[in-house]
A and B are shown apart, each in its own frame.
Chain A
Amino acid sequence: MKKRFCLISAVMVLILTFTMTSSVYAFKWPWERDEKVGNVREMVEGPIKIGFMGNLSSPFSLSSRGAAQMAVDEMNAAGGIMGKQVELIIEDTKGEIPKCVEIYKKLVMVDKVLAVIIAEKVEMSAAGMEIGAELFPEFPHLFFSTIGSGDVIWHRVRDNYDKYKFGFQTYYAISTHYLEKFSGMFTDIYKNTMGVKKVALIYEDMEWTQPLRKGIPGVSPRLAEVYEKAGLEVVYETTLSLDQKMFNSVFEEVAASGADVIDCVIGYIDQASFIKQWEQSSARDTQWIIWGGLAGMPPIWKMTGGKVLGGMVGSSMVAVNITPKTIPFMVNLYTKYKVGPIFGSHTTYDTLFGFKKALETGKTLVDVDTIIKSLETIEEVAVLGTIGWNAEKHYNLPSPKYVTPIVQWKKDGKMYVIYPEQYQQKPYESPVNIRK
Chain B
Amino acid sequence: MVSFELKRDRLLMRWKQQKFEWIIEPRYWRNPILWSLLLMVVPFFITGYPNILTMITMANLYAAIAIPLALQMTGTGRLNFGPQLYLGLGGYTSALLNLHMGFSPFFTLIATILICGGVSLLLSPITWIAKGLYFSLITLILPLAFLDLTFIYGDLFRGEVGLMGMSPMISLGRVTWNYVAYYYLSVFMMLIFLFVAEKISQSRFGITMAAINENEDVALMMGVNVNKYKVFYYVFPSIMIGIVGWFIVHTFRTFAGITYLPLDFMLKMLIIVMIGGRASVYGMIPGAYFVCFLEDSLRSLGTVNYFLFPIILIIVLVALPRGEGIYGLYHKRHPRDYFPVMRVRRE
Contacts and interface: CB of A to CB of B under 8 A. Distances in A.
Interface of A: 1-2, 5, 8-9, 12, 15-16, 19-20, 22-23, 30, 33, 56-57, 92, 94, 96-99, 101-103, 105-106, 109-110, 121-123, 126-127, 129-131, 134-135, 138-139, 150, 152, 156, 205-207, 210, 214, 241-242
Contacts of B55: 102
Contacts of B51: 102-103, 105-106, 109-110
A94 B165 contact: no
B49 A110 contact: yes
B4 interface: no
A207 B154 contact: yes
B160 A122 contact: yes
B322 interface: no
B198 to A, nearest CB: 21
Interface string B157-172: 0111110110010001
Contacts, number: 135
A123 B151 CA distance: 13
B132 interface: no
Contacts of B174: 30, 33, 138
Most central of B54, B148, B158, B295 by chain A CB within 10 Å: B54
A241 B161 contact: no
Contacts of A102: 51, 54-55, 58, 296
B315 interface: no
Contact of A16 (B27, B41, B50): B41
8 contacts: A2-B26, A8-B30, A94-B299, A129-B164, A130-B252, A207-B160, A207-B161, A242-B151
A126 B161 contact: yes
A140 to B, nearest CB: 12
Nearest to A56: B303
Contacts of B24: none
Interface stretch (B5-13, B103-111, B205-213, B254-262): B254-262
B154 A97 contact: no
A126 B254 contact: yes
At the interface, is chain B mostly helix, strand, loop or mixed?
helix
A106 B256 CA distance: 22
B244 to A, nearest CB: 12
A212 to B, nearest CB: 12
A210 B58 contact: no
Contact of A123 (B30, B161, B299): B161
B263 to A, nearest CB: 12
B164 A126 contact: yes
B347 interface: no
Interface of B: 26-27, 30, 33-34, 37-38, 40-41, 44-45, 47-51, 54-55, 58, 148, 151-152, 154-155, 158-162, 164-165, 168, 172-176, 178-179, 252-254, 256, 258-259, 295-296, 299, 302-303, 305-306
Given A5-B26, A5-B30, A122 B161 contact: yes
B30 A127 contact: no
Contacts of A139: 175
Contacts of A5: 26-27, 30
Nearest to B303: A56
A109 B253 CA distance: 19
B58 to A, nearest CB: 5
Nearest to A129: B164
A98 B151 contact: no
Given A5-B30, A101-B54, A130-B165, 14 more contacts: A19-B44, A20-B44, A23-B44, A98-B259, A105-B51, A106-B51, A109-B51, A109-B176, A110-B48, A122-B160, A127-B254, A129-B164, A152-B158, A241-B148
B239 to A, nearest CB: 22
A8 B31 CA distance: 11
A109 B55 CA distance: 15
A5 B305 CA distance: 40
Nearest to A91: B299
The list of the 10 closest CB pairs from A to B, nearest first, reads A106-B51, A19-B44, A207-B159, A30-B173, A102-B54, A127-B254, A105-B50, A123-B256, A97-B259, A207-B161
B26 A15 contact: no
A166 B258 CA distance: 26
Contact of B155 (A23, A127, A138, A214): A214
Contacts of A241: 148, 151
Nearest to A94: B299
B49 A106 contact: yes
B48 A16 contact: no
Given A12-B34, A122-B161, A210 B302 contact: no
Contacts of A138: 174-175
